[in-house]
Structure 1
């Protein structure tokens, strides 16, 4: 098991070592060097803006749905996580049209109120708005779980000492949930730094767009790797923050007997305000952009043959990526108890943007393509490299639920299997895997959804004429054919939404007090 866990960790680490190796190679395009600092500053500004926005919005939504009862609360408790099904670039396509000079929102404001909206969507503030809508569910889910797992004793003590409900939230509940807040914000920032489709369409130049541009325009893997190095360093810091956030559940006394929170019923204007806030958030993050994309897409007849072919490739890569990732993550989880450092090594891939993973695989890709000439072999090599990139990046995402599933297996169960003559591998097959099969399905769904939305790694590593739905949407959007771009974007949402609904409802049902 130790060797298998070590092998899985090497699989995740190899592309990152490839980035460092490529950055040391000769060959410097004009884009590298002088623009790295500017792109890094833009990425930093986006990260800070998204971190602040998601922290405020996600925490408030989690506080309302976890600790209060108001009209629609049971629906919002899981529906507010549904924007995870929508790729950020789909929201960017919709809002760029809505806030365009001749867009319906601007035209409506001019006609109805005689003034223009002071918002330019194709800018850094516009990108912060779009990415915050797409990634606030990470903070919402983490904070809601933290609030539901808190005991009522500290809040009761605060109220006894004269704190209002708002003061108890700010001074007690929020500090207790600070580790979860750090973890959720770290995940949102990771996704912000990894995003390519939304920021590229909104004309915001970040390190990730620099990686793709250096490769696709200048053809310089060395320059792309130099853009990737700051992302890699930032990913390591964010991973540490996210790990630190999940290591503790707060600062609650271990000696106090746990008693779950009792949700407070809101009435009057407070109930209206809570429902209005949650509904507005869900509308901005999902209902409005997806509905607008649907309306615009109905204006054109899609090329169904190309669209369905891209959907088939997307589903195929999702299945391959999920299968390979779950297998590697399972091997890692089985051996991580004896070699825990392997889990930390493998987790670095999750904090690394897909574009960086792709750059790390360019050198072995070139060797494999030279050794296997021909379109059919090139297709096999390209699909294998894409699967590898997905597995290396998403292994940690699969590792978390799998480790939680294996935690249900007690040492006595393993000991009984070994006493009956089972080997270590036989005990895993007979005991651990059957007990954790629900966790394995959860891990597969998480990876599948992420692969459906992955764009930069697919753009760089895909075989010739191998367009997934994300690539097809990006190509249409690049040609400013936004109604056509809406169709593949909507298909991604349609494919991801059932899995997201299942996952969010399962998470909501598994939390203490979720049924209150």
Structure 2
């Protein structure tokens, strides 16, 4: 059932794409698709390269070096994950606009210069690349750091014995060994970039995601949007293939005689301060600046003193949708992995793998694919009610917000499935056998053994899924009921009207809800260094 739920949107999109749309498709192929493909490729390449440079470089500095301020950076480095891409775009576009804070400040310092001419134009492809990479680099950082800090000392020692410098050791030893982790982090960055619609639309970059959005809503062509979505699904498949290719045939052997971790090199003086500054800069730009801007706007506009009741309603909707989706995803993920553990077979293996592919579906494509099945169910329920002589219930799934919850579950089901699977792998099957020998049934074994041991993994899944649901914009924007907003859609609407500052408090609420989970992810991230 879980595999069918995840696969249904893809099947629906392919079926919609089969419908002819010659008039719209002729215009799309002539004017929309070529530019959208070029912009999408440029954005993916630029964001990937910049996020890889920032994430891998800072992970190497923090994992293999010791310097003043390193302990603080361990907690700060992942915090940009708490800032959604669309929120960062709104903040920086406001800061760098002709009458924004940066312009006014520089005009005071350099009154005789044309300040506008020297300021970067963030409403452009380079601006979008920089802004998106600054909040997505932690995906690369977290995955790369896991590999760097567990590398054996013998490899670097052998390279230095042959005369390699520290830079050569990083470039020729540490970086190639971290290739699998870098491939995973880069794939996550690319998928999140494809999923974005708020930042790219606001900064004027016409990606495939934006083109699908405008084709669906502005041109009124569902078939044309589905056909563009097929191109996006092909790109997603390509990204996954590249990620698998990046991890191909990579095995790291550790010496059984000397399983020492690489000792951290002490950096003092200017080198230590330079390393600290290099790591602090992306945190400053990706987290601290947006948060300070939102705080300043909230106090300046009196959003705290004059609390808008509509904001409370939007927050309630966000929490309600996220809570229902989190509980449903946790239950489905647990049931899927438990079924595989109890009776493993090929069918359940395929179903388990399919259930973990939902995260690869961009939210906009997912919403488009869900629309037809959800409306079909609603129409079927109305037909049954009419056949029974009852009053027609109307659009139950769409009108109640259930479609939003279903979209959240499909998109983020990979998180609880993956974490619970990893948790089960740490529970020896001997425990199950011992419980069975003692006369305990499967339900008793699950309640007394599995659930207590899986509590950390399930708690992590709950935290991550809940926060991801709060930040999700594309699927929420298109599937929410009429006159129902969440914090994310409220921020989007403020930005669309050119008054993003009025949504600063809503943005702060999302950031505040995300900081704790992001910090939780780094709680056990540091390991003792090997002996020098």
Q: TM > 0.5 between the two?
A: yes
- What does residue 311 of structure 2 align with? 307
Residue in 2 aligned with 1:23?
17
| Change in 2 beyond 3 A, CA 1:386/1:279 | same
Q: Which residue, out of 501, 508, 514, partners 1:490?
A: 508
CA distance in 2, matches of 1:482, 1:214: 25
Contact 1:178 1:250 in 2 (8 A): no
How well do the aligned residues superpose, as a CA RMSD in angstroms? 2.4
Deviates more, 1:239-248 or 1:328-337: 239-248
Distance 2:497 2:121 in 1: 20
Matched residue SS, 1:260: coil
| Structure-2 residue corresponding to 1:68 | 65
Contact map agreement 2:260 2:530 (CA 8 A) in 1: no
Tell me how far 1:426 sits from its aligned partner: 4.5
Which residue does 1:289 correspond to in 2?
290
Quote the residue 1:390 is aligned against. Answer: 408
Q: TM (normalized to structure 1)?
A: 0.92
The answer (yes or no) to whether the contact 2:314–2:487 under 8 Å persists in 1 is: yes
Q: Distance in 2 between matches of 1:326 and 1:112?
A: 54
Question: How many pairs were matched up?
Answer: 508
Aligned to 1:343: 352
Greater mean alpha carbon deviation, residues 63-72 or residues 301-310: 301-310
- Which residue in 1 is equivalent to 2:271? 270
Go from structure 1 to structure 2 and tell me whether the alpha carbon gap of 1:237 and 1:433 turns closer, same or farther (over 3 Å shift): farther
1-side partners of 2:407 and 2:257: how far apart?
A: 46
**CA apart distance, 1:315:** 1.1
Q: Confirm whether residue 33 of structure 1 aligns to residue 29 of structure 2.
A: yes
Residue 82 (structure 1) aligns with: 79
Deviation, structure 1 residue 472: 0.2
Contact 2:213 2:225 in 1 (8 A): yes
CA contact (8 A) 1:66 1:514 kept: no
Aligned equivalent of 1:52, options 46, 49, 62:
49
8 Å Cα contact 1:8/1:331 also seen in 2: no
Corresponding residue number in structure 1 for 2:93: 96
Residues of 2 paired with 1:514 and 1:384: CA distance? Answer: 52
TM-superposed deviation, 1:489: 1.4
Matched, 1:432 2:435: no
Deviates more, 1:224-233 or 1:332-341: 332-341
* Rounded Cα–Cα distance in structure 1 between residues aligned with 2:441 and 2:245: 35
- Does the 8 Å contact 1:149/1:512 carry over to 2? no
Give the secondary-structure state (helix, strand or coil) at the position aligned to 1:71. Answer: coil
Q: Is the 8 A contact 2:13 2:229 kept in 1?
A: yes
Q: Is the 8 A contact 1:13 1:392 kept in 2?
A: no
The 2-side partners of 1:247 and 1:438 are apart by: 31
Distance 1:391 1:254 in 2: 43
Q: Structure 2: any 5+ residue segments left out of the alignment?
A: 383-390
SS for the counterpart of 1:215 is helix
Do structure 1's residue 149 and structure 2's residue 150 form an aligned pair?
yes
Shift of residue 375, structure 1, vs aligned partner: 8.7
Distance 1:438 1:130 in 2: 33
CA contact (8 A) 1:212 1:456 kept: no
Of the three residues 427, 438, 461, the one matched with 1:443 is: 461
Q: Secondary structure at the match of 1:272?
A: helix
Moved more, 45-54 or 63-72: 63-72
Partner Cα separation in structure 1 for residue 124 and residue 503 of structure 2 = 21
Deviations, residues 87-108 of structure 1 (Å, cap 9, x unaligned): 1111111100111122222343
Counterpart CA distance in 2 for 1:492 and 1:428 is 35
Compute the TM-score of the two structures, normalised by the length of structure 2. 0.90
User: Which digits, 9 at most, give the CA deviation of each residue in 1:282-340, with x for residues without a partner?
Assistant: 11101112211221233324452011111111111111111111111112222345232
Q: 1:256 Cα shift?
A: 5.9
Q: How does 1:199-348 map to 2 (within 5 A)?
A: 199-242=200-243, 250-253=251-254, 257-302=258-303, 304-336=308-340, 338=344, 339-348=348-357
Summarize the Cα distance change of 1:415–1:78 in structure 2 as closer, same or farther, 3 Å threshold: same
CA contact (8 A) 1:87 1:489 kept: no
Q: Report how far residue 169 of structure 1 moved.
A: 0.8
Are 2:448 and 1:406 equivalent residues in the alignment?
Answer: no
Give the conservation status (yes or no) of the 8 Å contact 1:211–1:224. Answer: yes
User: Retained in 2: the 8 A contact 1:239–1:348?
Assistant: no
3-state SS, counterpart of residue 436 of structure 1: helix
Alpha-carbon distance between aligned partners in 2 of 1:325 and 1:248, rounded to the nearest angstrom: 33
In 1, Cα distance between equivalents of 2:452 and 2:241:
32
Alpha-carbon distance in 1 for matches of 2:119, 2:188? 30
CA contact 1:94–1:290 (8 Å) conserved in 2: no
Does residue 185 of structure 2 align to residue 196 of structure 1? no
Q: What is the CA distance between 1:418 and its match in structure 2?
A: 2.3
Where does the alignment leave 5 or more consecutive residues of structure 1 unmatched?
1-6
Contact 1:66-1:147 at 8 Å conserved across structures? yes
Out of 190-199 and 376-385, give the one that drifted further: 376-385
Secondary structure (helix, strand or coil) at the match of 1:331 reads: helix
Maintained 8 Å contact 1:212/1:224: yes
Q: Does the Cα contact within 8 Å between 1:369 and 1:381 map onto a contact in 2?
A: no
CA distance in 2 between counterparts of 1:396 and 1:246 reads: 20
Deviations 1:324-373 (A, max 9, x none): 11111112222345232223322321111011111111112223444458
